[in-house]
Amino acid sequence: MSDLIGQFGVGFYSSFLVADRVIVTSKNNDDEQYVWESDSESFSVVKDPRGNTLGRGTTISLHLKEEAHDFLEENTVKDLVKKYSQFINFPIYIWASKTEEVEEPLEEEEEKKEEATKDEDKEEDEEGKVEEEKDEDKPKTKKVSKTVWDWELMNSVKPIWTRKTDD
């Protein structure tokens, strides 16, 4: 247990290398929600005036120094977590975005534009007409790139000593 406290202390206080102010909001199942706030010179602990917003757990908010804004970049955070969390048993997630190709139904205006284009192309040979008729049976859709946000597990690789010998 004392090892965990030491690791937490060193890691936590190193947050002041990049932050002017640190706010920790924490809630235990059997207690009220509290807010600890520090600027590295002084601190305060108060009952959270917002009430029970967490349910359970802890959030840590860093108010970054001007020269530390690089840590707001998703790739910077991912690289740091991968580099320094290889022996951490607790899951670490990052709120990340990814682009996905999805098919969406065409809106009425887009359908009319597409039909107008098809009407201009109707002067093609008979084979083209047969293919058009087959296309009309399918629902009219288009591929769209969407940005999707979700929690991504950053440290899925287990420490060496917790793996099976076969791995």
pLDDT tens readout for residues 93-115: 888 888 888 888 877 665 556 56
| Residues 157, 87: Cα–Cα separation, whole Å | 9
Top-confidence range, 11-25, 137-151, 153-167: 11-25
Hey, is 93 helix, strand or coil? Answer: strand
CA distance 146 to 102: 7
Taking the whole predicted model, whether its pTM rises above 0.95 is answered as: no
- pLDDT top residue among 54 and 131: 54
| Whole-number CA gyration radius for the chain | 27
Mean pLDDT for the chain overall: 78
Q: Provide the pLDDT confidence category of residue 129 given band limits of 50, 70 and 90.
A: low
- First CA to last CA distance, the chain: 29
Give the distance, in angstroms, between the CA of residue 62 and the centroid of all CA atoms in the same chain. Answer: 17
